[in-house]
Amino acid sequence: MTESFRLTLIKSFLWKFLEARAVQIITLVSNIILARFLLPEAFGTVAILTAIFYLIQTFIDEGLSAALVQKSTIDEVEASSVFYLQLTAAAVLYAVLFFISPEIGEFYQVEDMTLYLRITGLFLFFYAFQSIQYVFINREFKFRKYFFCSLASSLIAGGLAVCMIVNGCGIWSVVLEEGVYAASLALIMWFAVKWRPKLTFSWEKVKKLYAFGWRVLLASLAIRLSSTSLIGGKFFSTEALCNYTTGESYPKTIARIIYEPVNTVVFPAIAKCQDAKETRIKLMHYVLICNVFILFPLMGGIAAMAEPLVHVLLGENWTGAIFFIQLFTIVYAAAPMMYLNLQTIKGLGKGGKYLFAQMLSFVLVILVFVFAVQFGIYAIAVGMVIATLIKVCTYALLIQKQSGYSLLTQIKDQLPVFLITCIAGGIIYCFTFLPLDYITMICMQIPIGLAVYLGLAWLFRLEAFTFIIDAAKELLISVKEQLKEKFLKKSKANKVQQ
């Protein structure tokens, strides 16, 4: 791995991390405020709407965006062709959704579902409009630019949603939040990314992209169709579904802050070093250990502090989500390993294996529902944990021959972080047995847990700990040199003017 490529990756990780962190924190704060005003039933309805929306959005992308990112080079004809095709797909799919929305509402037996679907369906055009701009950001590692675009859009959408809920708009504040975000992002990215579609279209170019893209499309469909909200919305009440989805969403939101930006950068990075096996193994190794070094203690802390956190942040109406929050921390603690191997499969162009991996995910979810639905939503949650562990192992086995990074090596690399997380998490969980009010309990758990975890990491000189410290120093030196260079250039320019 060359120094320039290594530094580019570190900077890309940093900016994508900041973007994801800022957006997810804004969304998290917005949802906490909204939860104070809305009952769980309303969020259950929104969970069903969101699942349907993302299922339809998958048909619009058709795997072509991933194909454009994965290709070594692309031209204007390919980019413009995909742009027009996705806009056309959005129009056709919205028309279909408009006419079948009454039947969907009747299927889920949710009041006003038809109107909600017809409004949210309009958001599809905004996502189709900015998809190619996002392709160029991925290909060129311009994640600093995307950080500011996404941050501004999140502030606009989150602020408007809070204003709407305070003024009595109810469920519409949550329904429209996604649309405002999509519209803002599309508008801002149109000016931020200079690419513009040309008046050209080629079916031949699109067909070649489909050679990789159709597998990604089917894989994405498998993910969307396996959504618990999409399936569970038929079998469980909106309140039970909301406790489940809320219990999943908070660990998921926190986890995505860590693993999602890394995965976004890993895909094009792996694609660029397909022929450099040693570089690829090092990249995968450091991505995994750094991911889990941050994510394991977060998930362990959330699990240990779930009860006081729910009472303080969400209120008494949401205590039914505590069990699900604790359970889903296991699922999302496993996310770095699972998604690293998935992105490696995509980055190496193994479309067939990627499709198999996602179809396996779909089959496992269906099996969980078939065997566990009769025992209730708690059994579904436990089944999802088991399914996740199966997926984690299978994905690693699928690509270990091509990647050179075996399943056993990945587990071994994560073990030290797992052990110190268990120690720190066990210590702060003991505070729940003390006769303390919830706010005092949280104020004690966070600093003590953090001190124990970092202290053990320093004591045992964990590789991830030292790597992150070294990377931070390297980045600071790079920034310092850039600032110094800019200062010298400015000084020379001033002397020339004088």
Query: How does pLDDT run across 437-481, given as a tens digit for each residue?
Result: 999 999 999 999 999 999 999 999 999 999 888 878 877 887 777
Asked whether residue 101 is domain-assigned, the answer is no
19: Cα separation from own chain's centroid: 11
Q: How confident is the model at residue 36 (pLDDT cuts 50, 70, 90)?
A: confident
User: Total domain count for the chain?
Assistant: 1
Return the CA Rg of the chain. Answer: 23
What pLDDT is attached to residue 483?
A: 74
What pLDDT is attached to residue 450?
A: 95
pLDDT over threshold 60, residue 24? yes
Q: Which residues contact 473 (CB under 8 A, 6 or more apart)?
A: none
Q: How confident is the model at residue 226 (pLDDT cuts 50, 70, 90)?
A: low
The answer to whether 180 and 157 have CB atoms below 8 angstroms apart is yes
What pLDDT is attached to residue 60?
A: 74
pLDDT over threshold 80, residue 262? no
Asked whether residue 79 is domain-assigned, the answer is no
pLDDT over threshold 90, residue 174? no
Cα angle: 140, vertex 253, 123; to 5 degrees: 65
Asked whether residue 15 is domain-assigned, the answer is no
Domain hosting 356: range is: 237-486
Asked whether residue 66 is domain-assigned, the answer is no
What pLDDT is attached to residue 110?
A: 78
Asked whether residue 46 is domain-assigned, the answer is no
Backbone φ, ψ for residue 110 (5° rounding): -115, 130
pLDDT digits (tens, 9 = 90+) for 331-374: 999 999 998 888 888 778 787 787 788 788 888 888 988 888 88
Asked whether residue 390 is domain-assigned, the answer is yes
Asked whether residue 474 is domain-assigned, the answer is yes
Asked whether residue 265 is domain-assigned, the answer is yes
Distance CA 465, CA 458 (A): 7
Q: Which of 17-31, 39-53, 209-223 has the highest mean pLDDT?
A: 39-53
pLDDT over threshold 60, residue 5? no
Q: Which residues contact 153 (CB under 8 A, 6 or more apart)?
A: 181, 182, 184, 185, 188
What pLDDT is attached to residue 439?
A: 93
Distance CA 211, CA 64 (A): 10
What pLDDT is attached to residue 178?
A: 81
In the predicted model, what is the mean pLDDT of the chain? Answer: 82
What pLDDT is attached to residue 420?
A: 96
List the single range of 107-111, 285-289, 299-303, 401-405 with lowest mean pLDDT. 107-111
What pLDDT is attached to residue 10?
A: 60
Q: Which of 31, 61, 64 is nearest to 46 (CA)?
A: 31
Whole-angstrom CA distances from 388 to 82, 208, 362, 436 are 33, 33, 11, 35
Whole-angstrom CA distances from 361 to 2, 252, 388 are 36, 17, 8
User: What value does the mean pLDDT take over residues 153-171?
Assistant: 85
What pLDDT is attached to residue 227?
A: 67
Quote the tokens at residue 217. Answer: 């499309």
